[in-house]
Each structure stands twice: as structure tokens, then as C-alpha cells.
Homo-oligomer: A and B are copies of this chain.
Amino acid sequence: MRKIAVLTGGGDCPGLNAVLRAVVKAADRYGIEVVGVKDGFRGAIEGDFVPLGFGDVSGILPRGGTILGTTNRDNPFAYAGGGGDKAEPVDRSRDVLRNLEVAGAEALIAIGGDGSLKIALEFAELGLQVIGIPKTIDNDLMATDQTFGFQTAVTTAQEALDKLHSTAESHHRVMILEVMGRYAGWIALYAGVAGGADVILIPEIPYDLERVAEAVKRRARQGKKFSIVVVAEGAKPLGGEMVVESRVSGRPDPLKLGGIGAKVARDLATLTGMENRVTVLGHLQRGGSPVAYDRLLATRYGTAAVEALREGAFGTMVALQGRDIVRVALSDAVDKLKQVPLTDPVLLAARSLGIEMGD
């Protein structure tokens, strides 16, 4: 193999640059050139490529974001022209194949979440030599134990909880932090335990707010006149609906600002009569320099993807299982949401600590 292409797709995630650097450095040892695709599959469709050499990846390890750019909506199999929501989608997959061929790229490393990996799988089925690298802040991909970027998002949320703690305690207040996690509560659970939360609400466990209110009032009776509540954006009341609605349109969505955090705040104030404040972390969780753990994981994914290419393991995704990076079939990796199981050890530890989970 003499030349490969690499792209980053989907939402931003700390560690993307670390993966790119590892791919370029590992490929170089085999004399393989790397070409970068700009803005995810948009660049593949339009042939927007840049060479990626040592100089291009020098110094990017600690930086958030991706030097290639990314989007989370350009599907070559149903491309709406990048011009917004109105165009009739067309199949541009042939353009992608041709552009890669013209660029001399014999294979593609696709770094992305479920959406991008599904597209990668479709290309694999068309014969493209593809390796996937899993990417999601939310850690909700089934085939891998952990995704890079997740530990950084947990750290960002935990640092926010550390900050809220002092104010909660000084003011005898209930502080509510809404974190990412529409379908899975990993960030809320991990950050909540690491940040000393008193209540953690996740999508996997529909919550009974009366129980939550009771826990908050019990603490107050014991002299702890403050509580810290972490809510995943996809948490929902028993028998209720998720209050996050889609952001498909790409338009700013003020209702999102009145999401589950605000709802819990309103309802909890009514039930407890205690003052509270809500913070919605939002995109802060997607940015920033990756923590050491994620830099290591991202680097390992990058080098493992080059090894997989070298060994012809096309159509696979590299994944963490235990301490090892393994390869799984892309077809086994996509479309499988990994929620927090009720037997998850961190969830059990949370219960041992007496953290209220709302059930």
C-alpha cells in the first residue's frame, strides 16, 4: 500500500487530532503517504483533499477539534448539496470512489460515530478498502469498551461539578447540571460519581421525581442543605417523554435551552420548596485539549488502524476490549446502541455510595 486517505466525520470530539497524528506517523514508518479529506464526507464527494505529512501533524496532539474539519450531515448516498435542508438528495457515492482513485488513495480510514461508520460500511460493501475508528463523546457504541473523547467529556463535566459544589454548599442550594447523553447516561454517571453528585438521572432509568425530592429533603434534614443533581439530556420521568427534540435543521434551538435540566429544576423546586440553579454544559463537552487517557486511546486507535490496513483487514473497525485493541466487523459495530446496563459496576458503586438514581 502506498497511499491512503483519512477523514473525520460527525460531531467534534477531543482526540481527533491525536488519531490523525498517529495515522500519519504510523503510516510513514511503512512508507505510506496519507491524504486528508476535508470536512468529512463532504470533502470526499467534492474531491477536497490535502496531503498530510509530518509537518502537518506536528504539534496537534494536545489540540481539540480536527485539522481536517468535520460535518455531521453530508451522506454521499443521499447528498443534499451542502446547501442546507432543501435540496433533493442525490447519490454521490460514485464521486467519492472516483475522487479517492484520482487521488491515488488505495484505502480509507474513516473516523466517526454511528452515522459516519454506517456510510463507511456502505462503501466497504461497494468494494472500498475501509477501516473504521469509533468516535463518540457519548461512549454509546456497542462494539468498543470505550471511545476516545469520552474521558475528556467526563472530566469537563466533573470539573464543572467541582465548581458548582462550593457554591451549592455556601448558598445551601440545589444545583442542577445537564450533561450530554441523549440515549445513554455514561457521561452523567461517570462524571456524577467522579464529581460527588447526590442525584444522577440517566435515560436508562426513568426517574420518579418524588423520590429525588425526598432524597434532597432527607439530606437537608441531616444538615446538608445543598444537593448536586446531574441530569443526562435524554433522562425522562417515569411514564414520560424525552424533552429533547431533534436538532436536524441545524438552526439554533431555544427550546433546547429549556430542556430536561430546566424541567427537573422547575419540578424539583415545586416539590421541595428549595431554591435551585441550572447549568447546561452543552458544547463545552466536545472541546478542549484531550486528557492523557484519551490521547493514549486515540493514538492507539490510529496506529492500530494502520496495522489493520497493512494486514488487509478491510471492512473492520478497531475497538477497545479490555486492555486490547481488537478488530470487529463494521457490520457488527454499527446500529447497536450501548446503554448503561443495570449491572454496570460504576452504577453499582453509585448505589453503594447512596447516590439517588431516581428509581
Contact = CB atoms under 8 A, between A and B. Distances in A.
A196 B62 contact: yes
Interface string A144-185: 010000010011101010111111011110010000000000
A71 interface: yes
Contacts of A306: 352
Interface in A14-36: 14, 16, 22, 25-26, 28-29
Interface string A41-69: 00000000000001000110111111001
Interface string A260-297: 01100110110001011111111110111101110110
Contacts of A279: 280-284
Given A280-B279, A323-B322, A193 B70 contact: no
A241 interface: no
B352 A303 contact: yes
A311 interface: no
Interface residues of A, number: 99
A136 interface: no
Nearest to A325: B345
Nearest to A22: B353
A300 B347 CA distance: 10
Interface string A209-250: 000000000000010100000000000000000000000001
A257 B280 contact: yes
Q: Nearest 10 CB-CB pairs, A to B?
A: A65-B166, A163-B287, A64-B166, A252-B265, A65-B170, A303-B352, A194-B292, A163-B288, A12-B167, A194-B295
Given A12-B166, A300-B346, 10 more contacts: A22-B349, A28-B354, A63-B166, A65-B167, A70-B171, A151-B293, A166-B287, A194-B299, A252-B275, A296-B349
